[in-house]
Structure 1
Amino acid sequence: MTKIIDISETKTSLKLTQLSKRIKSITNDERSSFNSLKIKGDILGDWSHYYWVCSGRRIYFTKPFDLDENVVTSKTHENKRVIIPDLFSDLLKVYCIRSLKKGTSAKATSAKVGAIAWFFHHINFKLENISKVNQDKLDSFIPLMKKEFVKRGPYERVKIVRSFISKLLIPTKLVSSFEPKINMVNPAVSQSNVTTEEFKQRSSDVYLEDIDKYVGFVRQRFDNDIELIKMNKRPIYGQPKPGYDELRLLAIPFFLAFGLRVGELCRLPENALGYDEKNEKYFLRVLTEKGELAAARPCPRIWQDIIKTSIERILELTKTSRARSVKIEKNAELALSKLLNFSNRSQEIVEAITSAGFSANDYFIRSEINQKPTPTDTTLPWSTLRHKDFETAAKGKISVKNSNDRAKRYTVIYSKTMVIKALINRWNKSHSIVFKENITEDGVLKTKIKSKTYQYNLPFSKHLFCIFEDTFSAQSVGQGLLPRPMTPRNISNWFSKDSSKSLTVFQRYDINNDDGITVSITSKKFRHWLTTALKRSGKNEMMIDKFMGRQPGQSRQYDHKTAKERAEALRRKYLSDPPPDDALGARIKRMRDNNVSLDEIESAVIHSLSVLHFTPWGTCKRDLDINPCDKGMMCLRGENGDGCQHFGIDPDDHEALINIQNTKILYENQLSALLPNYKELMSTLNRQEPLDQHIQYCIDTINGCEKAISSYNKAKKNQKGQIDIVQVFVPEKD
């Protein structure tokens, strides 16, 4: 009997086979890169494993939902995760490898992998649906993201998937070629537009005008408590143990003076403060984050004495923990065995250990650990031995009768060797947390701080904030046995409510805002506060970006000046000599040439700036409520590329300059594709034809961009000199 073959099924099967072969081919091409990263130690794990470890972080190749159909979070148990099918997992791993090779952090790469896993879930993890990916599939992915995530989350995840499609699926011909677009509004646009409600809400979330006042109140009340203690009086508030508040108060000047990120603060070296003898100025050595180079940040003169005093006091408070760290780094077993010496143990304890069949030199009992430590105690805490890390060190119970005891009592006996081994494991784990790297490399601890642009060896003992592990724990009494650097969490839990079981410093010192609400801040607010202060003082935007360790143009996101302040700053620029090279600046020049009085010129400027608002390329003085702008790119185009009369140029707005340059490149590329010799044919254009009209539109826009860029160049030439970067608060007095 002849078997009838379904042609459509055969074609589908053939397509799936070809698709599978193509994915396997792509995977094989990337396996060599995976092996190289694995040999270097940048990746731990096998290709087939459902997660890899990169820089101390796990990158999972699992589905967004667990076995119980719950969304996977960081708290989801390993056994609950669902592994992604092989071919889909291979695509994720290929994209992951390419991301890591570009220098993308493990954290960012993990987020990308997670977003793509959501897209695979959207197409039901069916292989035949990969080849069907198109703009409609990407558009239908948006509602799912809006449902599962909020605020900027949906847009960012759709953006990642768009990149995955355009940079992997399309080039490898797994899907038909198309130009993927994100058909949703980027919330970052409205958040960066100073005229929107989103910007105002974001400003209130990340900016606190009186941050210096509130931390000043804490310092004042802390100092008052110290004075009461010196007079043998009871403090009003009091810190739980030495260093608990003081070390973090000593860290605040680094936030206020330099606007350090919390990670940069925590990894300052012990020799952070340097002195330039040639220029007679202090500087701070900062291991900058966010991929920027490590830098020497000039110390503002007004902060020099405070920073010097803070560092001296920090070194004094951390002297003991630093010394212990040095000993452990040289020989961990020897250093820790000396801390478990128990030389003053009684003869009864020695006899009890020996009679139980143990060596008195190699074992100790729990009662030998100080059960009532003082706040300054730096020995092995009683509570630590109850941790599961020390379970294997417990060797049972023995009967002991001390001279002060009425009868024998049973107590747990521990192996010193096993306790030391457990302590070394804790020491190694703390390295993994601090350096975000693998715990060991050929048996040697990793002590390197890595960035895209540099790496720096900085052992615990070389950190400025080298503390005992329990210094910042309000739940324990003593300082702890092992030293380690201060962590970002130690700062955030101290500043912010709801981030820890412990009370924040503002709750403990009763610091409230004008509405009677307890103050709560994040470390990032210091960067917003300092950037805004620098902008209000009239500092150059490029200088601010450099000083704060940012890429050019990023400071605009940290600017919280009011609209009135912005208009006032521009008013001063237009009344300066020479004014900005735009329509209003030209009008001011003409008024000066005609001997118009200063009062009339100032009145004209104030009137022109009364409805000022901002565009990506500069400012606009047009009253959009009364006279809306109905022409695209009118700011730069104007009439025949001369620019709009309402368009204003701020020579210090470098982000606007970048936008202008990018706009010019965009339209030049369009013209090059449409008409390579467009400059020679400008006179022959027929303004009635749609294509000719578009070409003229591009030409006018390019001319407007060139005119705007030349205005920036003229302003740069006219600039009489830069203010020294070290004088970022108050200009040096003569």
Structure 2
Amino acid sequence: MSISMMVLDDRYKHAEQQFNDLKANGLVAGDFEGKVWQYRSSNIPFTSLDPLNRRNHDQPPLPLVIGKLARCFIVKEILAHPSAELIIGRMASIRHLSAVMDSENIEWSDITRKVFDRTVDSISHGRSDSTIYHRANALKAFVDFLNQLSAMVDGVLLRFIDRFIKWQTGIPNPTHSALELTSREFQQREENLYTSDLHKGIAQARWLIKQNPHLEPTAGFDRIRLEATCFGMALGLRVGEIANLPKNCLFQDPNTHTTFVRVPVEKNCIPNAVPVADLWSAPLTEAYEYLLAASQDARERALDIEATGFSFIDKALAAYRGDHPLDPGAVDQLSSLGLPVEHHYFVEEICKCFPVSPKELYSGGRFYSSSVELPRITAARIAVWIDERMHQWDWSNFLNEYKKNCYSVSVIDIAKHTKSSEASVKKSKWFVDHLRTFLKGMVHDGLFKPGNKPSHAQLFDIRNEWASIRELMLSQRGFGAGVPSLVIDIRLLKRLLEDKYRFHLRRHFEEQFSMPDDGGEASYHAKHTAKGYPSKLSDNLLVIWENQFDSISELGIIPRPLFRADLYNYLSSNSSKKTIFQRLDLRGQDGEIFSITPHQIRRWVTTAILRSGPSETAVDLWMGRTPRQSRQYDYRTAKERAEYVRSLYLAVDPPQDFLGRLVIRWREESIADEQIEEMIIEKLSILNLTPWGGCTRELYISPCDRGLMCIRGFGTDSGCKSFHLNPDDLEAKAAIESLHSEYEKILKAIFDNQTDITSSIEAELDNTHAFDQHVLFVMDMVTSCKTALESYSKTKKASS
């Protein structure tokens, strides 16, 4: 065995143990060496790319070595509990790498950086810049895994690959160009992601539906989703946060009378109690009360399932049959096939007890596999009657003496005894003649003579002959008089419903809810929810029926959560279903029918809050984002940003940039505050964002002539007169800190790690030499960054 395989086998055994531990904790499902794993309700395929077979199970497995490497790598990644999307992306990159290595017949001992470059090239065809960037980074993570893959064998550290592979993706992050305000990407992103009048479309839709409930195909079809959207409009919640709101999410502080919403924050481990603006308090309270009432029945069903499983089906059907007993013909249909009456119910009975469409139970329906087709009533009645005679051999009680000492039983006689009509018997042509022949044979053999009992041999032959005829009689199943005739095995139906219910829970909680073994039990509670997230469906505010949003179907038997797709398909025209705006013909200011993604609502809320004046830090906290993230959601115009920043220069301690120091000088010269304000307004008519602060230059008309060296000379007269520092802009502060660290490293490299450059050294530098010019520039940048960061500190102290 080669060294590489020894290392891989050692790691493979360890990975298998880790997989089994994850599986025991309900985080993954499937077999370790299987083609597909399940993680967070998503499939992770360990198969080769095959354009002819799109189904993972039909694709060939990955080659042996890369298949083992992939399993070891994916287990390591899952241990960190990342999103399913990240794991799927990791696996996609490995499958592309496998395809490239297979097509070029490359061995692992010969792998080089060029192989990974060609893999990125193969990924690039027909994919977006964002996908290419993330797939390339996934490949980089796999390279890092290969570099670290080693094992200690007999006290010697062995590596899977002989040499360290130093590889960079070379793919730029497309987000960076999209955040550059003067870039075409930013303009296109704004057009695609920000709709300024979306609130009008949603408000009009909600008003029309509330005033005209008949516009809803079924009760709650529209209003549940529109009222849920109210939480997004009021608080800017993500779709996942709306779907996970607890049923007690809304409350009011008894002292301040402020309305709060308990929000399970999607990208933060700490849940928030978010205050609701007075403007939104009444609409949000109305939405909450409607949703609480509209979801009550579905929520109670979820609670019942969590407590007693699917026994509610047995109870409801048994109670109905107690009030509406089966007629004898229906009982005979079941008895003729040996079906226990207490476990089998007719479609009509199920539809009376539960809001389920018969189409779902008949052929082609999703519950058809739990059905049993029944024989015709006449055939079943006759078969059950003859079965009893054969068992008891009491024919003498039903014989006709057609002549002296000659007795018989005809088919018509049996029809009378079973209360079957002669017409129905005549229509039963597939078995009547055979039955007549059978009865005549019994007459001929004298088996109907009073007191005559057949021998064991005769009885054996008679029963065998009857079994053949009986099978023929009961062979016509499923329809009677053109009407479907079948029953549902409740045991199988409950199994199908439970499997579907657990699928909904897997999808919502992103956790495994495996079906229990026969006779076993499995919980309906999530085990790995984040803090603040309900762990039971019955604790959710939004619980709906399975077919709640299907306009042509009954509501269904089981409840389910609200999914992200329910809102996306409802508001955005990218789906095959008509949106609420298409149905009501609601159009925006551009004349086009509204098409909104739920995340656009979040961007709309962010921009609205920023326009009202709060700092970006406050907005980040309000929206449940990481600090400085609001910049990506800021769609204010340059004029609107300038209006906010002007107020900073009118404060007692203005920012320490060029304009701030100018304001201080004007005040020292006793210039009136009104004049200072006019001069600030004239100077700050617009404000564009740069990585390190703001710029009042009209960049489209007059491009920057300093090469975007905004920071250089900050705090001195040589600083950029168009650059402005916003003490609330933590994104800019982080960029300045990064710039400071970068130039300090350069300075230390030049002066052999000296931490303090004396003024005498600086004085010796000659700015006519290229190298000295470079050193002076680096020193200037370090000083400018320090001065800018000190301005942040001074502002913080002044405000505290």
Give the shorter-chain TM-score range. Answer: 0.7 to 0.9
Verify: 1:48 aligned to 2:125, yes or no. Answer: no
User: Matches of 1:429 and 1:626 in 2, distance apart?
Assistant: 58
Verify: 1:380 aligned to 2:380, yes or no. Answer: no
- 2:333 and 2:374 in contact (8 A); partners too: no
- 1:532 and 1:559 in contact (8 A); partners too: yes
Equivalence map 1:499-514=2 (5 Å):
499-501=575-577, 503-514=578-589
Amino acid at match of 1:186: N
Helix, strand or coil for the counterpart of 2:711?
A: helix
1:80-115 CA distance string (max 9 Å, x none): 423222222233233323322233223212212212
Once the two structures are overlaid, the 10-residue window that deviates more, 622-631 or 379-388, is 622-631
Amino acid at match of 1:222: I
2:755 equivalent in structure 1: 678
Equivalence map 1:78-477=2 (5 Å):
78-124=56-102, 126-128=105-107, 131-134=110-113, 136-166=114-144, 168-169=146-147, 174=161, 176-177=163-164, 180-226=167-213, 235=214, 238-341=215-318, 342-343=320-321, 344-345=324-325, 347=327, 350-356=330-336, 357-370=338-351, 378-386=354-362, 390-400=367-377, 409=481, 411-440=485-514, 443-448=521-526, 450=528, 454=531, 456-476=533-553
User: Matches of 1:508 and 1:155 in 2, distance apart?
Assistant: 38
1:548-600 CA distance string (max 9 Å, x none): 11111111111111122223322333334332221111112112221234565
Deviation at 1:714, TM superposition (A): 2.1
2:599 equivalent in structure 1: 524
Once the two structures are overlaid, the 10-residue window that deviates more, 411-420 or 535-544, is 411-420
Once the two structures are overlaid, the 10-residue window that deviates more, 674-683 or 197-206, is 674-683
User: Matches of 1:59 and 1:635 in 2, distance apart?
Assistant: 48
1:270-320 CA distance string (max 9 Å, x none): 111133335442221122212442222222222222222222222222222
TM-score, with normalisation over the residues of structure 2? 0.77
- 2:658 and 2:714 in contact (8 A); partners too: no
- 2:246 and 2:541 in contact (8 A); partners too: yes
- 2:197 and 2:589 in contact (8 A); partners too: no
Amino acid at match of 1:419: L
Amino acid at match of 2:761: T
Helix, strand or coil for the counterpart of 1:444?
A: coil
User: Matches of 1:157 and 1:355 in 2, distance apart?
Assistant: 61
Q: 1:635 to 1:144 in 2, by over 3 A?
A: farther
Q: 1:331 to 1:465 in 2, by over 3 A?
A: same
- 1:448 and 1:456 in contact (8 A); partners too: no
Deviation at 1:352, TM superposition (A): 4.2
- 2:360 and 2:368 in contact (8 A); partners too: no
Amino acid at match of 2:794: K
User: Matches of 1:632 and 1:426 in 2, distance apart?
Assistant: 58
Once the two structures are overlaid, the 10-residue window that deviates more, 264-273 or 115-124, is 115-124
User: Matches of 1:693 and 1:22 in 2, distance apart?
Assistant: 54
Deviation at 1:432, TM superposition (A): 1.9
1:129-148 CA distance string (max 9 Å, x none): 665423x5555554433323
Amino acid at match of 1:474: S
Equivalence map 1:587-602=2 (5 Å):
587-598=662-673, 600-602=675-677
Deviation at 1:392, TM superposition (A): 3.9
Helix, strand or coil for the counterpart of 1:572?
A: helix
User: Matches of 1:93 and 1:37 in 2, distance apart?
Assistant: 13
- 2:245 and 2:541 in contact (8 A); partners too: yes
2:693 equivalent in structure 1: 618
Amino acid at match of 2:123: M
Q: Which has the higher contact order (CA 8 A, sep 6+)?
A: 2
TM-score, with normalisation over the residues of structure 1? 0.83
- 1:67 and 1:80 in contact (8 A); partners too: no
Amino acid at match of 1:366: V
Deviation at 1:611, TM superposition (A): 7.0
1:231 equivalent in structure 2: none
1:488 equivalent in structure 2: 564
Helix, strand or coil for the counterpart of 1:364?
A: strand
- 1:435 and 1:446 in contact (8 A); partners too: no
Amino acid at match of 1:384: E
Percent identity (aligned): 27
Aligned length: 678
- 1:528 and 1:558 in contact (8 A); partners too: yes
2:730 equivalent in structure 1: 654
Unmatched segments (≥5 aa) in structure 1: 1-15, 71-75, 227-234, 721-734
1:12-47 CA distance string (max 9 Å, x none): xxxx94444444455455555444333433232343
User: Matches of 1:446 and 1:647 in 2, distance apart?
Assistant: 58
- 1:34 and 1:97 in contact (8 A); partners too: yes
1:176-196 CA distance string (max 9 Å, x none): 446543434432112111222
Q: 1:671 to 1:499 in 2, by over 3 A?
A: same
CA root-mean-square deviation: 3.4
1:542 equivalent in structure 2: 617
- 1:131 and 1:176 in contact (8 A); partners too: no
Helix, strand or coil for the counterpart of 1:475?
A: coil
User: Matches of 1:511 and 1:603 in 2, distance apart?
Assistant: 44
2:786 equivalent in structure 1: 706
1:610-668 CA distance string (max 9 Å, x none): 57533211123456665744557552456999854443211121111122223333344
Q: 1:215 to 1:650 in 2, by over 3 A?
A: same
Q: 1:117 to 1:636 in 2, by over 3 A?
A: farther
